[in-house]
Amino acid sequence: MAMLQEIKNNVLAGKLIGKEEALALADTPLEDLCRAANEIRKFFCGDNFDLCTIINGKSGKCSENCKYCAQSVFSHSKINEYPLLDAEKIVSAAKYNNERGVPRYSIVTSGKSVNDRELDVICESVKRIKNEIGMSVCVSLGLLSGEQFEKLKSAGVDRIHNNLETSRNYFPEICTTHSYDDKISAIKNAQKAGFFVCSGGLVGLGESMEDRIDMALELRNLGIRSVPVNMLDPIPGTPCENNRILNKDEMRRIVAIFRFILPDAFIRLAGGRRLLDDNGRECFVSGANAVISGDMLTTSGISIQSDMKMIKELGYEVV
């Protein structure tokens, strides 16, 4: 307990903790750890809560072999496959979400990247969302070039999403068709174009706690302040279909340790949250303070109405 108190006080004083301290937190009593993480969240972030929704703008037939993903051509999952949605459908979904109080909307596409025609449709959609709705827009389009990021910036995109997925050490265990350095290069190119970048990963892939901590430390080194934490939802037909599902206490510990490493970030519960019996409620008093609401890409999520109710009950304010 004395060790936990010391680390917490150091974080509150502005000190960045190292890997050894983070690993030590993995063995501290859970309730004490979560209370301390919530105190750090309150100190650095107040009761601000970040909420967004996503649209699966292009589904399936992805050339990459990410083992967790049902959209990969290497998986045998039964999903709806379709090319990029037209601007009308993308904008219509944005309006639906905006009317329910969602402040930011993200367009996500399958595939390693997007081609020029697809990028033009996405830019058209973004311009319409900004002009007709005034909503903040994020895009998750894979490994883009600097020129493509510049085009998105000109169209009015506010934020780029690109997950690291896991640690550098574990990454080759889940994907070999692109590299960890490809991910980092894309993130840095987006930042160079002036974007705020959202990046995190998945837990429950078979990685160790050290891998999770290494990922969080890498995100901190990259200056990331919006960190999605996806809990693997094992999908039949993927290589991860038989992975053990993490339990609520494991997720609480993960988000609490992430809060110690990333004290002023929005730590965002994302995919897999529906597998928790409380929809993540206890994680939101253990360090997490952001969420992706509604359905995910190929799995169901939690309704916007339910999330808004929970956020209000917990005393948060959506920003």
**Tens digit of each residue's pLDDT, the chain (319 residues):** 789 999 999 999 999 999 999 999 999 999 999 999 999 999 999 999 999 999 999 988 899 999 999 988 888 888 888 999 999 999 999 999 999 899 999 999 999 999 999 999 999 999 999 999 999 999 999 999 999 999 999 999 999 999 999 999 999 999 999 999 999 999 999 999 999 999 999 999 999 999 999 999 999 999 999 999 999 999 999 999 999 999 999 999 999 999 999 999 999 999 899 999 999 999 999 999 999 998 766 676 788 999 999 999 999 999 8
Residue 156 structure tokens:
């009015």
* Tokens coding 13: 């004083």
Residues sharing a CB contact under 8 Å with residue 158, sequence separation 6 or more, in sequence order: 104, 136, 137, 138, 195, 196
Q: Which two tokens stand for residue 187?
A: 């993130």
Beta bridge partners of 54: 106
pTM: 0.94
As a whole number of angstroms, the distance between CA 246 and CA 165 comes to 16
As given in the structure block, the two tokens for residue 161 are: 């999403």
C-alpha closest to that of 52 among 123, 153, 140: 140
| Residues 6 or more apart in contact with residue 61 via CB below 8 angstroms | 71, 73, 81, 110, 111
Using the structure block, give the residue that is written with the tokens 């589904």.
59
CB distance 174 to 68 below 8 Å: yes
